[in-house]
Amino acid sequence: MNSSPFDLVTVGGGLGASALAISMARQGARVLVLEKELQFRDRVRGEALTPWGVAEAKKLGLAELLMKTCANQILGMDMGFGVRNIIETTPQKEPGFTYFHPEMQEALLAEAGRAGAQVRRGVVVVAVEPGANNGAVITRDTKEERIRARLVVGADGRGSAVRKWAGFTSHKSPQPFHFAGVLLTGVKERQDVMTYLFNADLGLVVGIVPLTKGRWRAYLGYSTENGLFLQGSEKLGAFLAESEKVAPSVAEAYADVESIGPLATFEGTESWIDHPYRDGVVLIGDAAGTSDPTFGQGMSITLRDVRVLRDALLEHSAWDTACHHFAREHDTYFHVTRKVCGWLRILFEDPSPEAQALRHRAMPRIAEDLSRVPDHLLSGPDMPADDAVRDRLFGEY
């Protein structure tokens, strides 16, 4: 038994933190969750969980809860080649889930409390102190307070300050794309099908994600070269006009829409920590590695992080060993995902002449045989991602 008052304290109470809090509290761990928001609001975040992410949610015992509280079940995916049945064609044999992100966050954080975790909201963590076998966080509520725990979990999202406080070195790979999103009603599309359409010559990608209660998340990826920055509700007209350039079906889907949330744009920049564990502080979710949002992998990777970390913490009594194991595993699946997204970005988004030349060779072969496109986005990072997979995608044989 460790002398700290908590086994784990999480900085943040989003998807990663609350999923870990639920999983560990259910096993009897003493967990404290510190979340700065009193009520979650629409920050324009991920709302489409792929089949491999749903499989992770199942392994964590969260899938049923998500379905009961906030999720819509997705059976098909339309990427411009007809609607693909994703249950039949993925190794997990699972549907996708979609949900309004703030409702998912509220549902999971409430469950963390029911599972026995202590949840404190409206609390801003202002520092983290790594230690040999444990760490501490400093919070500012009404007064400053120092809380020690056997393990501090940095789950504070894409702008993670824990990375810096705990002395990790961040790596960045800027990408020449922006990714915008807005919440809509009145979209004319099927409720059980997600749509992702690319127009690489224009450097545009559209995502149309049906949620519950007649709401839709509309995303638009666009090249940084085209001079747009789609931020703020006054840019809704430009957002819709750019989206409609991708395919005539998008114009039909958006003919009568209304916006019911903020319009926000994010950089496609990837940023990550190599080996996200040191001295009693572990990073999970976007804090460990922020993937390019265009490819919709962030929540699935976050749930994989939680599952791998949970299993390691339950298996090893020495949590230092457990966290090093987690960090090694994380690096493998995060970078497989990054690598494959890099290939897909060139083929389906990049308007440069070099990418156009590659497409000229690759696309006719892909049209004949769709299995040339590696399926990591839906099927997960355990699929092969070696040079042969890359060469086949780019039509080199």
Residues making contact with ligand FAD (CB under 6 A) = 11-17, 34-37, 44-49, 124-125, 155-158, 161, 179, 181, 266, 285-287, 293, 296-300, 302
Which CB atom, from 193 or from 358, has the smaller least distance to ligand FAD? 193
Strands 31-35 and 118-121 turn out to be parallel
What residues form DSSP beta bridges with 6? Answer: 149
Which CB atom, from 12 or from 280, has the smaller least distance to ligand FAD? 12
Listed residue (241, 221, 236, 243) closest to 176, CA to CA: 221
CA atoms within 13 A on the CB side of 269: 12
Which CB atom, from 36 or from 58, has the smaller least distance to ligand FAD? 36
In the complex, the smallest distance separating the C-beta of residue 367 from ligand FAD, rounded to whole angstroms, is: 26
Which CB atom, from 112 or from 366, has the smaller least distance to ligand FAD? 112
In the complex, the smallest distance separating the C-beta of residue 1 from ligand FAD, rounded to whole angstroms, is: 27
In the complex, the smallest distance separating the C-beta of residue 318 from ligand FAD, rounded to whole angstroms, is: 26
Q: Are 369 and 81 in contact (CB under 8 A)?
A: no
CA distances from 117 to 61, 144, 284 (A): 16, 22, 18
CA–CA separation, 184 and 378 (whole Å):
24
Q: Are 259 and 184 in contact (CB under 8 A)?
A: yes
Which CB atom, from 11 or from 107, has the smaller least distance to ligand FAD? 11
Q: Which residues contact 166 (CB under 8 A, 6 or more apart)?
A: 128, 130, 135, 152, 154, 278, 279, 281, 283
Instruction: Report the run of H or E that residue 338 belongs to, with start and end.
Output: helix 319-348
In the complex, the smallest distance separating the C-beta of residue 85 from ligand FAD, rounded to whole angstroms, is: 20
In the complex, the smallest distance separating the C-beta of residue 161 from ligand FAD, rounded to whole angstroms, is: 6
In the complex, the smallest distance separating the C-beta of residue 102 from ligand FAD, rounded to whole angstroms, is: 9
Which CB atom, from 269 or from 352, has the smaller least distance to ligand FAD? 269
Which CB atom, from 138 or from 251, has the smaller least distance to ligand FAD? 138
What residues form DSSP beta bridges with 34? Answer: 11, 120
In the complex, the smallest distance separating the C-beta of residue 125 from ligand FAD, rounded to whole angstroms, is: 4
**What single-letter amino acid sits at 340?**
V
**What single-letter amino acid sits at 127?**
A
CA distances from 146 to 4, 36, 44, 137, 184 (A): 12, 16, 32, 6, 43
Which CB atom, from 247 or from 264, has the smaller least distance to ligand FAD? 264
Which CB atom, from 11 or from 240, has the smaller least distance to ligand FAD? 11
296: helix, strand or coil: coil
In the complex, the smallest distance separating the C-beta of residue 362 from ligand FAD, rounded to whole angstroms, is: 25
In the complex, the smallest distance separating the C-beta of residue 288 from ligand FAD, rounded to whole angstroms, is: 8
Instruction: Give the CA angle between residues 107, 111, 115 to the nearest 5°.
Output: 175
